[in-house]
Amino acid sequence: MLKEWFKGVIKLFAFFFLLLALWLVYQEIEKIGMTQIWASMRSTPFWVLGVAFTFVLLDYAAYSGYDLLALRYIGKKVPLPAVIETAMVSFSITNTTGHAYIAGGSIRYLLYAKHGLNEIDVLKMIAFESLTFLLGMACIFDLSLILTSVFHLTRLPSEAYLFDIGAVVVSVLFILYWFFVVKPNRRLTFNNTIISAPTTRMTLRQILIGSMDMIATSLVFYTLLRYHLDVHFFHVVSIFLLAQLIGISTQVPGGLGVFEGMFLYLFVHTPPEKAPILAALITFRIMYYFIPLGLSGIFFLTTAVWNKLKR
């Protein structure tokens, strides 16, 4: 009963944040007008879109690193082509719909079952990859804040306390995790399943892969924004990752609306014309989330038709 009540609270929390974020975005769109936003989107040259989409492709290709490292962690071997295919498809669905354990887990189990993986293996992989993602985000977020502050690249917004809180929380969790990794007998028991902490070397690889993912994702958005606004990369990264983290935390699918609303709220140092920012946010959502999701749908449809024709 308590568990169901908690799930209901989480859903209500996510719905509240979704409405709040959509309201913030709507207010900005109403002030600016879709005509100006559409004009900003159309003014973006094809070469800029091409560079941004190249980073999308590189990032999705790098997602196989998550699965390769997770497979090594659980002690399983899967052919590289199958790993690349599964990682790209499952991440394209998970990124857009959220719920990694449901959506991502189902796809991974469907595609990895024929290679000998069971449900527990897939759940361990997802938990490991979620940790890899958070380690990479923590590392790049703290690094971007440090470089922004030390080199005075640009002034922080007036809501700097959000960044201070985020930096403290992320740093504490980062240190606590390292303490868990380096201590002897690094094991947890969950539902009669023993979970061992990754080794120090594997944790360093997690940080590397997660950091590469964060940088590539940030470069997609920065490429779209930088053409219109003269802003520094590390300042954009700090706001971008904080908005992403808040969007993920609300459990809204893909952080839809929440990410955009938080970025607009935190990016207060920008000039009055916000049409280019909204144009970059919308283009990023289409390019990074919707196009890969559509391609995954085509892949599954083609595979289903091909398998039916072979019978």
Q: What is the pLDDT of residue 2?
A: 44
CB proximity list for 87: less than 8 A, separation 6 or greater = 63, 64, 66, 67
Cα 285 to Cα 255: distance, rounded to the nearest angstrom = 10
Helix (H), strand (E) at residue 98: none
Q: Which domain holds residue 272?
A: 36-62+129-288
In a domain, 243, yes or no: yes
What are the pLDDT tens digits along the chain (311 aa)?
444 554 555 555 555 655 666 666 666 666 666 677 777 778 889 999 999 999 998 888 888 889 999 999 888 888 888 888 888 888 888 777 765 555 566 777 778 888 888 888 888 888 888 888 888 888 888 787 777 766 655 554 545 555 666 666 666 766 777 666 666 556 655 555 566 677 778 888 888 999 999 999 999 999 999 888 888 888 788 888 888 887 777 766 667 777 887 887 777 655 556 778 888 888 998 899 888 888 877 877 777 677 667 66
In a domain, 79, yes or no: no
In a domain, 204, yes or no: yes
Tell me the CA distances in angstroms from 193 to 39, 74, 188, 189, 196, one per residue in order.
55, 13, 8, 5, 10
In a domain, 113, yes or no: no
- Tally of structural domains, the chain: 1
CA triplet 95, 100, 106: central angle to 5 degrees?
110
Q: What is the pLDDT of residue 212?
A: 92
Cα 110 to Cα 114: distance, rounded to the nearest angstrom = 8
Q: Are 6 and 244 in contact (CB under 8 A)?
A: no
The model's pTM = 0.80
Q: What is the pLDDT of residue 245?
A: 81
Q: What is the pLDDT of residue 53?
A: 93
In a domain, 249, yes or no: yes
Q: What is the pLDDT of residue 301?
A: 76
In a domain, 116, yes or no: no
Q: Please give the single-letter amino acid code of residue 267.
A: F
- Phi, psi dihedral angles at 34 (to 5 degrees): -65, -25
Q: Around Cβ 169, how many Cβ atoms within 10 Å? A: 12
Closest Cα to residue 22, out of 256, 288, 275? 256
Q: What is the pLDDT of residue 16?
A: 61
In a domain, 141, yes or no: yes
In a domain, 307, yes or no: no
